[in-house]
Structure 1
C-alpha cells in the first residue's frame, strides 16, 4: 500500500536554516512511482538539508520531474514515504500565468483567504518586477513572465522551493540574469531549493550539492566545494563539470 506523507519533517522544520545545519528539509524513503507497470522512480532514498541549494541532473525520462512533482504534492500515486515542509512552492519552465488576470493577481493565485495586493507587490519588487504589477501577462517578455512565476512562488514564504527547468525557454542572456536572480533570492531567503535542469554549467554555478539521477534512483551525489561567485574558466569548475558529464554518459 502506498504511504504518502506530506507535512513538516519535524517540529520547527518550517524555519529555514543555514546550509551547514544538520536538520532536513526533505526526507524520502523507499519512494516508488510507476506508470503502466514501469517504475520511473524505483525505491529512491533522499535527504535534502534545510537551506541547501541542490541541483538534480539526469537524462530525459530518468524521473527528475516526477520526483519534483511528488515533492510538490502534485503526484500522490506513490509507494514509500515522503516528508516535506508544509510551506513549499514550485515554479515550472512554463510560467503558467492566467491571461485574464493582471500580474499581481496571478502572484496571489491559489493563496488561501483574501490576501492583500501588498503581498504581491512585495514579492514582485523582490524579483525586480514592481513596474509591471498591473500589466497583463501577454505584455510580458519571457524573462518577465518567469520572474512573475518566481514571485508567485516566493509570496508563499516557502521553506522548500522547487524549480523545474525554469530557465529552459529563455534566451542565453536572459537565462544568465535569471540564474543570478535565483541565486540572490536563495541567499536572501535561506530556504532549501531543488532545481531540476539539463544544464551542467548551471548546476555547477548555482548548487551546494549536485545529484545525478539514473534508472529512477540517485546514481551520483556530490558537494560543490567551489567558492561563490563561480567562474566557468576556473579549473575546479571545469573538473567538476567534466565529472558530471561523465556521470551523465556524455564523456
Structure 2
C-alpha cells in the first residue's frame, strides 16, 4: 500500500525519506524495495543508464506518480524542472513563471525570480522567441517561484548545446548556493555530477548501488585534478572505461 506524505521540514528531519519503494510497469518491478534519505540543503546528483529508474523516482518524489507501494515522505513545498521547459506558448514568460500559483498573477514576484536567473529582460517575451537556454531559465524560475524546500531537476540541461549547458550548470550552482534548498538532479552527465554535487548516487536496475559524498571546494572547474579523479571514479562505478 502506497504512502505519500507531504510535511513541513523540521531542523532535524530529512528533506526526503523513502522506505521500501516499489513501482512496477508490467510483471517486473522497475523499483523494488528502494530506500533513500536526502538531507535539507544537500545537492544530490543521481546518475545511471537510461531505463534504470532515475526519472521514475523523480516523478514519484514530485507527486506525479502515485501508483506505488512503500513510504515516501517529501516536503510540502517542492518543485520540478524537466528537460523540456513545458512553457505555455500563449502566455508571456512572466505569466508562465507564476502559472498555477494561487491568487492573481503577480508580475512583481515573477520579475524578482526572473532577475535571479538572469531573464528579467525577457519577462514580456513569448516562449517561442526564447533560445533553448532562455527557455530552461524560465522553467527554472517557474520552479523557484514556489520557494521549494526540495528542487527536482530531471535532465534539465540535456537538450542544450555545450556552451549553454555550462552556463546553465553554473547558474543552478549559484542558485543553490543562495537558496540552500535540497536538490535532486537526475542526469547522465558524469562531469555535471562532479561539478555540482555534494553527494552522488549511482542507480542500476532500479536500485542505488553507490553513494558517494563529494567534499570539494566550490566553484569547481572541469580541469581541476580532484574533479577529474572523481569523474573517473564515477565512470568506473557506471561500468564505463575512463581511459
Q: What's the TM-score bracket when you normalise by the shorter of the two chains?
A: over 0.9
Match of 2:42 among 27, 46, 52: 52
CA RMSD of aligned residues (A): 1.2
Q: Distance in 2 between matches of 1:234 and 1:107?
A: 36
Shift of 1:33: 0.5
Match of 1:187 among 167, 177, 184: 177
SS of 1:84's partner is: strand
Match of 2:82 among 58, 79, 92: 92
Structure 1 position 67 matched with structure 2 position 67: no
- Where structure 1 has 5 or more consecutive residues not aligned to the other structure, the ranges are none
Change (3 A) 1:27 1:120: same
Q: Distance in 2 between matches of 1:239 and 1:116?
A: 46
Change (3 A) 1:6 1:23: closer
Q: Distance in 2 between matches of 1:104 and 1:37?
A: 44
Shift of 1:172: 0.7
Map of 1:1-251 to 2, 5 A cutoff?
A: 2-8=1-7, 12-13=9-10, 23-251=13-241
Q: Deviations over 1:19-38 (max 9, x none)?
A: xxx54100000001000122
Q: Distance in 2 between matches of 1:115 and 1:138?
A: 21
Equivalent residue pairs, number: 241
Shift of 1:118: 1.1
Shift of 1:234: 2.4
Q: Distance in 2 between matches of 1:74 and 1:6?
A: 13
Shift of 1:114: 2.0
- Where structure 2 has 5 or more consecutive residues not aligned to the other structure, the ranges are none
SS of 1:114's partner is: coil
SS of 1:113's partner is: coil
TM-score, normalised to structure 2's length? 0.96
Q: Deviations over 1:42-80 (max 9, x none)?
A: 110000000000000000000000000000000000000
CA contact (8 A) 2:197 2:214 kept: yes
Shift of 1:6: 2.8
Q: Distance in 2 between matches of 1:223 and 1:209?
A: 4
